[in-house]
Chain A
Amino acid sequence: MKSWERKQKYKINFSETSRYSLLFLGLFITVIPMLYMIISSLKDNKSTFSYPPKLFPGLDEITFQNFTYILNNENFNNYLMNTLFVAFVTVLIAAVISSLLAYTFARFIFPGKRILYGMIISVMLIPGLAMIIPQFEMAVKFNLVNNLWGVILFYSAWVTPFTTFLLRGYIEDNIPRELDEAIYMDGGSIFTVYRYVMVPMASPAIAAVSILNFLFPFEELGWSQTILKSDEIRTLPVAITMFFQAHNRTDWGYVFAMASLSMVPVIIFYLVLQKYFISGLSSGSIKG
């Protein structure tokens, strides 16, 4: 091996090594708080409150009592079922409505199209929580206070603009018009095109944006704590916050056990759909 070849090889190896070490360092920094949370949830409450804090419990100190307590005592299943219900229905409503809107805006010319689309996109710019007063009045009027549909309907409406934006870009970029034409040639209507071209072909993008929409009910606090007042209909973000306030500074082990458990459905949902995530997001709307 000539000396310059060796030098080059060494250089490549070095850059690969530094690349991986940087990535693992970053990964460590990223996941360490989460690991710390899970570790803390495995300690009994006395040691989570002890000072100096023990980073790692001894193997004999590991206990699942926080988890069993949460699962048995705190209506956790109820909160989880509420949140899952809200999440699935929100994902479904947003997917149906946004894909219809996206298909229309991507493929047809009709009067007022630009203005309508502009209005829908502008909604994306305004925080959902900023509209809280009129929304609360509406919720009172339509009997949506203390009602899971009160969060479902508003969540779906809040996520619809972004979902529409993403799906429109994906349809324009990734679904050839020839497919539409082929359906029309066979005598199909625009509904046939929607059902047999748009829905199947846009499914990676629908899956990708559904991951984000699914997460939303698991983390939105402002609106849900406003209208979900009674305990039996609370979603997880409200329940965890209330639980934390009730057990302030004493039972971190319980809080973290509850918090860790609440992450599980979202992580499963992400793992199931993650293979679509990158491809579904690489649409023209993002690339600009």
Chain B
Amino acid sequence: MISIAGKKTIRKINWRVYILLIPGLLFVSIFTFYPIAKMLIMSFFNWKIGYQQVSDFVGLDNYKNVLTDPIARKAMVNTLVYAVVTVPLQIVFGLLIAVLINGTKRFSVTFRLGYYLPVITSWVVVALLFKYIFSNQGLLNFFLSDILHIVDGPVGWLSTRWSALFIAMLLGIWKGIGWNMIIFLAALQAVPKEYYEASSIDGLNRRQQFFYITLPSIRGTILFALVMLCIGAFNTYTPIAVLTGGNPAHETEVVLTWMYFQTFNATGKMGYSAALSMIIAATIILITIAIFISLAREEN
């Protein structure tokens, strides 16, 4: 044991490795590490942009301001609700479709393209499309009032908090299912067929096969999807910006739209925005760690 470990550490380091490493590291450092570090510093200052402006150190004041700001809180609640609703539903529907497609012989290319179409369509385009469908004179109101006669007049779907968020979540789920489908399809195709053959000889039915073979085999992919979708949920900007712009009265803001608004529409709030960004980043990192810890515990 010791000799193997020793061998590993004394293996001669090829200096050429650094030539491979340096362009990437330099690039990532300049364009991501540096802004993140700068952001962390800014979040402790009453940051002022401009020549010869002095920024005052304010300690944790910016964080306090964010956490006590009712709109920031609302934006955080909206973002969390968005994540809690859209992430599991995308996984469930994506997996369901992947399982169904995995067994098909015909039309599989049609399905893969069709279900993937929303994923390769720009967020701007699909958000505008949903804005049109759910607008006052849109398709949904037409069906509800003129065809089904459920409601009297047009419903302002995008003008109240929860119905607008509901539309945004519907959009997020609809657009995200295809990505999950592709990821799970890739995972399903890697599950050895012998497992299914052996288990059907043992008398397992399809449902049992799904729970005892498929799900355990693609655990890692589910974990991967979970983490990526949580990141994506906190990264939501475009659909809200296009659908509601955070309106009415900041009721439908998510953290990024609120941060953007504070940065460019409110003056002298750089420190506030920086603190909000750090809180967003910390939340995502904590969620990711929590997912990994709960998985590790489950394995033990």
Establish whether residues A157 and B27, one from each chain, have CB atoms under 8 Å apart when the complex forms: yes
Most A C-beta atoms less than 10 A away, residue of B39, B130, B223: B39
Given contacts A30-B115, A240-B125, contact A221 B23 (CB under 8 A): no
- CB of A190 within 8 A of CB of B27, answer no
Interface string of A254-282 (1 = CB under 8 A from B): 01100100110011001100100111011
Segment of B53-61, B82-90, B181-189, B194-202 in the binding face: B181-189
Q: Which residues of A contact B186 (CB under 8 A)?
A: 278-279, 281-282, 286
Q: B17 to A104, Cβ gap below 8 A?
A: yes
When the two chains form their complex, are residues A131 and B132 in contact, meaning their CB atoms are under 8 A apart? no
Query: Is A194 a contact of B237 with CB atoms below 8 Å?
Result: no
Is A85 part of the contact surface with B, judged by Cβ < 8 Å?
no
> Do A52 and B146 touch across chains, with their CB atoms under 8 A apart?
yes
Question: What is the bound-complex CA distance between A40 and B299, given in angstroms?
Answer: 52
B64 located at the interface, meaning its Cβ lies under 8 Å from any Cβ of chain A in the complex: no
* B128→A288 contact, CB < 8 A: no
> B11 and A288: CB pair below 8 A?
no
| Residue numbers in A under 8 Å from B156 (CB-CB) | none
Whether B182 lies near A33 (C-beta < 8 A) is no
Instruction: Report the nearest A residue to B234, measured CB to CB.
Output: A127
Enumerate chain A residues within 8 angstroms of B129, measured Cβ to Cβ: 33-34, 36-37, 256, 259
- Among B16, B103, B187, B273, contact of A282 (Cβ-Cβ < 8 Å): B187
Would you give the 0/1 interface string for B71-114, flagging 1 where the beta carbon is closer than 8 Å to chain A?
00000000000000000000000000100110110110011111
**Distance between A156 CB and nearest chain B CB, rounded to angstroms:** 7
| Other-chain contact of B182, A120, A122, A277, A288 (Cβ < 8 Å) | A277
A246 at the binding interface (Cβ < 8 Å): no
- Mark interface residues in B137-154 (1 if CB within 8 Å of A CB, else 0): 111001000100000000
Tell me the bound Cα distance from A49 to B129 in angstroms.
14
Contact among A97, A219, A278 with B24 in the assembled complex (CB-CB below 8 Å): A97
**Least distance between A237 CB and chain B CB atoms (Å):** 4
Evaluate contact between B123 and A26: CB separation under 8 angstroms. no
Chain B: CB-nearest residue to A155: B31
Contact across chains for B142 and A52 when beta carbons are under 8 A apart: yes
Say whether A287 faces chain B, with CB atoms less than 8 Å apart: yes
Cβ contacts under 8 Å, B8 to chain A:
109
B residues 1-56 near A (Cβ < 8 Å) are 8, 11, 13-14, 16-21, 23-25, 27-28, 30-36, 38-39, 42, 47, 49
Q: Does A189 contact B (CB under 8 A)?
A: yes
The answer to whether the Cβ of B277 comes within 8 Å of any Cβ in the partner chain is yes
Residue B116 lies at the interface, judged by CB distance under 8 Å to chain A: yes
- With CB as the reference atom, state the residue of chain A lying closest to B114: A27
User: Please, which residues of chain A bring their CB within 8 A of the CB of B168?
Assistant: none
Contact A130 B281 (CB under 8 A): yes
Asked if A288 contacts B174 (CB within 8 A), the reply is no
A215 is an interface residue with CB less than 8 A from chain B:
yes
In the assembly, what is the distance between CA of A27 and CA of B110, in Å?
9
Closest to A138 in B: B35
Question: What chain B residues lie within 8 Å of A236 (beta carbons)?
Answer: 122, 124
Residues of A within 8 A of B174 (CB): 30, 33
B28 touches A123 (CB 8 A): yes
Interface membership of A199, Cβ < 8 A: no
Instruction: Decide: A133 near B39, CB < 8 A? Known: A263-B122, A270-B120.
Output: yes
- Report B-chain residues with C-beta under 8 Å of the C-beta of A4: none
Closest 5 pairs (CB-CB, A-B): A288-B220, A157-B31, A219-B122, A134-B38, A134-B35
CB pairs A–B below 8 angstroms (7 shown)? A26-B115, A30-B178, A123-B33, A133-B273, A219-B238, A221-B242, A259-B125
**Interface of A toward B, CB cutoff 8 Å:** 19-20, 22-23, 26-27, 30-31, 33-34, 36-37, 40, 49, 51-53, 55, 93, 97-98, 100-101, 103-104, 108-111, 116, 119-120, 122-135, 137-138, 153-154, 156-158, 160-161, 164, 189-191, 194, 211, 215, 218-222, 226, 236-237, 240-241, 244, 249, 252, 255-256, 259, 262-263, 266-267, 270-271, 274, 277-279, 281-282, 285-288
Partner-A contacts on B (CB < 8 A): 8, 11, 13-14, 16-21, 23-25, 27-28, 30-36, 38-39, 42, 47, 49, 97, 100-101, 103-104, 106-107, 110-126, 128-130, 132-133, 135, 137-139, 142, 146, 174, 177-178, 182-183, 185-187, 189-190, 218-221, 223-224, 231, 234-235, 237-238, 241-242, 256, 259-260, 263-264, 270, 273-274, 277, 280-281, 284-285, 288
20 more A-B contacts (CB under 8 A) besides A53-B139, A278-B182? A19-B103, A30-B117, A31-B117, A34-B117, A53-B142, A104-B24, A127-B237, A130-B256, A131-B277, A132-B263, A134-B39, A160-B28, A160-B32, A189-B16, A221-B242, A236-B124, A252-B132, A259-B124, A281-B183, A288-B220
